[in-house]
């Protein structure tokens, strides 16, 4: 029996993509408590068992709930991971404005590196302390159906930081700045993943080295100034959407 080239290709229409959306949002206090309980237990199962053993049945067993209670809100385990992934990304993204405001780029050059270290360590800590955070982070890269959560989150950070920097540096090359912001966002995330994969590494040392790499990346596109500049008091929240 012989096969043509078309026989070896996957038919996109035959691939089933799991539903990632929640079925309904909880409205009453009791249903909200059940909803949050499901997510807490899911995170704990991830922390204890890893993503490979995660199942809706195991979550229900650990939570002491009937499967119908879970399926009222979540169609499958991927929807659970999707919601936890969004929460982790949001928790990480809040730190960007807190630790790395735009004015850090208009102060003397030596101020950017400590700000980047602060952001790196804060992101590392919030991920480490969130129940199941390490496994959620891994799932967002390893599970194809969940990768959009990470990609969309990084795209949002890139867009907002790029907008803030162009507000401060209107003469800079916009596309070059956007590329550097996107690269630095991915670099920080990848280095944090590496720390969770290799416990022999020191987080502070990796943070400081990564911060200098990011500093040099921004310096290449002219975003490191020795003196302050007009607009340095701007914040991401104050910029137009």
Confidence of residue 17 (pLDDT cuts 50, 70, 90): low
Q: Which of 11-20, 103-112, 211-220 has the lowest mean pLDDT?
A: 11-20
Answer whether residue 109 shows pLDDT above 70. Answer: no
Confidence of residue 3 (pLDDT cuts 50, 70, 90): very low
Answer whether residue 106 shows pLDDT above 60. Answer: yes
Per-residue pLDDT tens for 129-184? 999 999 999 999 989 899 999 999 999 999 999 998 898 888 889 999 999 999 99
Under 8 Å between Cβ of 19 and 57: no
Q: How far is CA 99 from CA 5, 92, 136, 221, in A?
A: 53, 11, 23, 22
CATH 1.10.10.60 intervals, the chain: 18-71
pLDDT at 25: 72
Looking at residues 36-40, what average pLDDT do you find? 96
Whole-structure pTM value: 0.82
CATH superfamily of 18-71: Homeodomain-like (1.10.10.60)
For the chain, what is the total number of helices (H) and then of strands (E)? 9, 0
Under 8 Å between Cβ of 161 and 236: yes
DSSP class per residue in 84-130? HHHHHHHHHHHHHHHH--GGGGTS-GGGHHHHHHHHHHHHHHHHHHS
CATH 1.10.357 intervals, the chain: 84-238
Looking at residues 32-38, what average pLDDT do you find? 94
Q: Is 14 exposed, middle or buried (0-12, 13-18, 19+ CB in 10 A)?
A: exposed
Indicate the CATH number of 84-238 among 3.30.720, 1.10.357, 3.30.810, 1.10.287: 1.10.357
Under 8 Å between Cβ of 93 and 153: yes
pLDDT at 27: 73
Q: Of 192, 206, 186, which is closest to residue 137 (Cα–Cα)?
A: 192
pLDDT at 238: 43
Looking at residues 89-96, what average pLDDT do you find? 94
pLDDT at 196: 96
Per-residue pLDDT tens for 209-235? 999 999 888 888 877 665 544 444 343
């Amino acid at each position: 029996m012989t096969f043509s080239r078309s026989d070896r290709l996957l038919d996109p229409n035959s691939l089933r993509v799991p539903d990632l959306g929640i079925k309904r949002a909880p409205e009453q206090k009791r249903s909200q408590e059940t909803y949050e309980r499901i997510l807490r237990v899911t995170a704990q199962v991830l922390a204890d068992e890893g993503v490979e053993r995660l199942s809706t049945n195991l979550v229900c067993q650990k939570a002491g709930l009937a499967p119908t209670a879970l399926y009222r809100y979540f169609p499958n385990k991927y929807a659970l991971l999707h919601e936890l992934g969004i929460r982790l990304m949001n928790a990480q993204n809040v730190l960007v404005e807190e630790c790395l405001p735009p004015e850090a780029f208009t102060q003397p050059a030596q101020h950017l590196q400590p700000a980047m270290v602060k952001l790196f360590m804060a992101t590392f800590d919030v991920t480490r302390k969130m129940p199941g955070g390490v496994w959620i982070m891994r799932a967002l890269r390893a599970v194809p159906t969940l990768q959009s959560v990470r990609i969309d989150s990084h795209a949002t950070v890139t867009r907002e930081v790029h907008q803030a920097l162009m507000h401060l540096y209107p003469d800079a090359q916009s596309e070059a700045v956007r590329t550097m912001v996107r690269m630095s966002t991915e670099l920080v995330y990848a280095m944090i993943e590496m720390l969770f994969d290799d416990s022999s590494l020191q987080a502070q040392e990796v943070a400081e080295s990564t911060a200098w790499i990011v500093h040099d990346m921004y310096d290449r596109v002219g975003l490191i100034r020795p003196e302050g500049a007009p607009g340095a008091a701007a914040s991401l929240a104050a910029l137009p959407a």
